[in-house]
Each structure stands twice: as structure tokens, then as C-alpha cells.
């Protein structure tokens, strides 16, 4: 399974005086089982790009293939596609609308025409995955905390059992505890349930910890792409386009400058601690 973006261009307000190129010549293949982090400054085209993955946006030229099929060709079922490629928007909790948590989560599977029984089972599975306790199933979504609301909104997408889950800044505005809950939910979906993940994020620390590959967007184009280690090596270039490397990267580079023999490919704090314990021999107590 894969999503393949081919020579994609997207122009806002094409043919008017407000015409503006949103995406330029994007080529990208998302393979089964990947965890892709998409980073880029505000306005770099991240959200516009991911809204092509399930056919919400129509490219000005180029196309998107799902398992090799052109999703924009006549007769291709977008409804089917959207149940396989789940998209969680920014601040998805603003879209909660039903009277109870359970009903809200059922909305998606209802729309793709599953049986009553499947709808109910899927919704309950999704809520369980999202870590929502059973006592909350029948309360109004408006009663929940910020982090809980967001997990319910994500459950609404999970209830369609997507193969691909695309999340647009799912942790923005959450406290550190709520943020970690969402990230470990996503990590579990990737590792245990084999869901392919595309995570749009402004947190370099988060994508460093979880992503297997990073795609860096700048002014509507793919600036660089590679493993987190490869991408964050180019921190100077990242800084020029409004990004940075995780703090750990700068820390290890400074240790190296001090003359310590440490591996500067390391990008997460836990790895950094292990490396220092292994390589830096000072007297310990």
C-alpha cells in the first residue's frame, strides 16, 4: 500500500489577480508502515499538501495515486479513500458536535455505510485505543478537558479503521501531559496496529523522537527529505527557513567542540544520556 504524489502543483485562486502558487512540483511516496514527520515554517504548504492525500484538495497539475490508482480519475471512490486515509485537522475538537462522545465517534463509520453492529464495535474500539474511559462514552463531548476532546476527535477518525492516519499539528495548545498522551497513542497505532502515520508538527523534539522519515517543506516545495538524523545535521539550513534542530543536537555538537568524542548524529535526550554515560569518563559518585 502506498500514497504517491506525482509532479503536483497547486495554485490558489488560479486565473484571478490573487493567483498564488501554494505547492510546486511535489514528488513524494508514502510507503506502508512509515512514520513520516512533515515540518516547515507557517505558510510553507504543509496543510495544503496533506489535504491532497485523501483528495480534499484538487491539484492544478500532477496527481496523487493510492495503491497505484489515480484518486482524481472518474469513478474512483473518494468515500472509500477517505475511510482508508484518515485526516485529523488542526484543533479537531472544534468539530465535535454530537450529544454524546460515543455518538460523535460513530459519525464517521455511519457515513461509510457500515452495519449498526460494526459501527458500534468500531466506535468502542477507537475510544478504547484513544484511552477514553467507558464512563465518558455517554457524556457530552463539551464536558471533557482539552486533551480528552482532542482524543475523542481522533477516535472519530480511527473508528473508520484507516490504513493511513494523517494528523495536522495534533498536539498544538495541549499541556505536556496531554501532548504525551496523544503522541504515545499515535506511536502505538504505528507500532502495534501497523497504521502508517503522517505527522505535521512544529515540534522538532517530537518528530525526532517518533518519525522514521522527515519531509521538510519551504515555500511550497520539498526542501529536504531523509531520516531525522540526516535532516537535523543540516540545522544551519533549517534555521534559515524558520526551523531548528532539536536542542539535543546543539548540545552534542557543543560537547564535540569541547573535545569530547561523542556521536553527533544523536537527536533525542535519552540517546544523548546513554552516549554521555558510555563515552565521557569523569569521576562519578
Partner 1 sequence: MIKSENLVYEYKRNISDNKEDRIRVLDGLNIDIEDGQFISIVGHNGSGKSTLARHLNALLMPTGGTLWVNGMDTSDENNTLSIRQNTGMVFQNPDNQIVASVVEEDVAFALENIGVPTDDIWRRVEKSLATVGMIKYREDAPNHLSGGQKQRIAIAGILAMKPRCIVLDESTAMLDPGGRKEVIDAVRELNSKEHINIILITHYMEETIYSDRIFVMNRGRIVMDGPPEHIFSDISMLKKYNLEAPQAVYIADRLRKEGFVINKPVLSMDDLVSVFADYKIGVGNVDRGKKS
Q: For partner 1, which is the closer residue by CB, 72 or 251?
A: 251
CB of 38 to partner 1, least distance (A): 12
Q: How many residues bind partner 1 (CB under 8 A)?
A: 47
Name which of residues 21 to 40 contact partner 1 (CB under 8 A): 40
177 binds partner 1 (CB under 8 A): yes
In order of 10, 42, 206, 224, 245, the CA distances from 236 in angstroms are 29, 18, 19, 13, 9
133 binds partner 1 (CB under 8 A): no
Check if the beta carbon of residue 152 is closer than 8 Å to that of residue 104. yes
CA gap 58, 201 in Å, rounded: 23
Please report how many Cα atoms fall inside a 13 Å half-sphere around the Cα of residue 248, on the Cβ side: 25
Q: Which of 180, 212, 225, 227 binds partner 1 (CB under 8 A)?
A: 180
CA gap 224, 79 in Å, rounded: 32
Stretch that binds partner 1, among 24-32, 101-109, 167-175, 225-233 (CB under 8 A): 167-175
CB of 201 to partner 1, least distance (A): 10
Q: Which of 6, 24, 84, 202 binds partner 1 (CB under 8 A)?
A: 202
Check if the beta carbon of residue 208 is closer than 8 Å to that of residue 244. no
Burial class of 113 by CB neighbour count within 10 A (0 to 12, 13 to 18, 19+) = exposed
CB of 75 to partner 1, least distance (A): 39
Choose among 222, 226, 193, 224: nearest CA to 211. 226
214 binds partner 1 (CB under 8 A): no
State the residue for C-alpha cell 491532497: 52
By rule CB under 8 A, what string of x and - marks binding of each residue 221-260 to partner 1?
------------------x-xxxx-xxx-xx--xx--xxx
Burial class of 278 by CB neighbour count within 10 A (0 to 12, 13 to 18, 19+) = exposed
Tell me the angle at which helices 116-129 and 101-111 cross, rounded to the nearest 10 degrees.
120
**Kindly report the CA angle at 130 between 71 and 196, in degrees rounded to 5?**
35
Q: For partner 1, which is the closer residue by CB, 43 or 194?
A: 43
Q: For partner 1, which is the closer residue by CB, 108 or 220?
A: 220
Q: Which of 205, 219, 221, 237 binds partner 1 (CB under 8 A)?
A: 205
Q: Which of 80, 128, 134, 273 binds partner 1 (CB under 8 A)?
A: 273
Q: For partner 1, which is the closer residue by CB, 4 or 148?
A: 148
Name which of residues 33 to 92 contact partner 1 (CB under 8 A): 40-43
SS3 assignment, position 48: helix
Q: Which residues bind partner 1 (CB under 8 A)?
A: 40-43, 145-147, 169, 172-180, 202, 204-205, 239, 241-244, 246-248, 250-251, 254-255, 258-260, 269-270, 272-273, 276-277, 280-285
Amino acid at each position: 500500500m502506498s500514497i504517491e504524489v506525482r509532479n503536483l502543483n497547486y495554485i490558489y485562486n488560479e486565473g484571478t489577480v490573487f493567483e498564488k502558487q501554494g505547492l510546486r512540483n511535489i514528488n513524494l511516496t508514502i510507503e506502508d508502515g512509515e512514520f513520516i514527520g512533515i515540518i516547515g515554517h507557517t505558510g510553507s504548504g504543509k496543510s495544503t499538501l496533506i489535504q491532497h492525500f485523501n483528495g480534499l484538495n484538487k491539484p492544478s497539475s500532477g496527481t496523487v495515486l493510492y495503491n497505484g490508482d489515480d484518486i482524481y480519475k472518474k469513478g474512483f471512490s473518494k468515500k472509500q479513500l477517505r475511510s482508508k486515509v484518515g485526516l485529523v485537522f488542526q484543533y479537531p475538537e472544534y468539530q465535535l458536535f454530537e450529544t454524546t462522545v460515543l455518538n460523535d465517534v460513530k459519525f464517521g463509520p455511519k457515513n461509510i455505510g457500515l452495519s449498526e453492529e460494526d459501527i458500534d464495535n468500531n466506535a468502542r474500539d477507537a475510544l478504547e485505543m484513544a484511552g477514553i474511559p467507558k464512563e465518558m462514552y455517554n457524556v457530552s463531548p463539551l464536558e471533557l478537558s482539552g486533551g480528552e476532546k482532542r482524543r475523542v476527535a481522533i477516535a472519530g477518525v480511527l473508528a473508520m479503521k484507516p490504513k493511513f492516519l494523517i494528523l495536522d499539528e495534533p498536539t498544538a495548545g495541549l499541556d505536556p501531559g496531554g501532548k504525551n498522551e496523544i503522541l504515545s497513542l499515535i506511536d502505538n497505532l504505528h507500532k502495534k496496529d501497523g497504521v502508517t502515520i503522517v505527522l505535521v508538527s512544529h515540534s522538532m523534539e517530537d518528530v525526532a523522537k517518533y518519525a522514521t522519515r522527515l519531509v521538510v517543506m519551504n515555500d511550497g516545495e520539498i526542501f529536504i527529505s531523509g531520516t531525522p538524523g540526516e535532516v537535523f545535521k543540516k540545522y544551519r539550513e533549517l534555521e534559515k527557513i524558520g526551523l531548528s534542530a532539536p536542542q539535543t543536537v546543539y548540545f552534542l555538537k557543543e560537547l564535540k567542540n569541547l573535545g569530547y568524542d561523542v556521536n553527533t548524529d544523536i537527536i533525542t535526550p535519552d540517546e544523548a544520556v546513554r552516549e554521555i554515560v558510555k563515552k565521557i569518563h569523569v569521576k562519578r559518585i
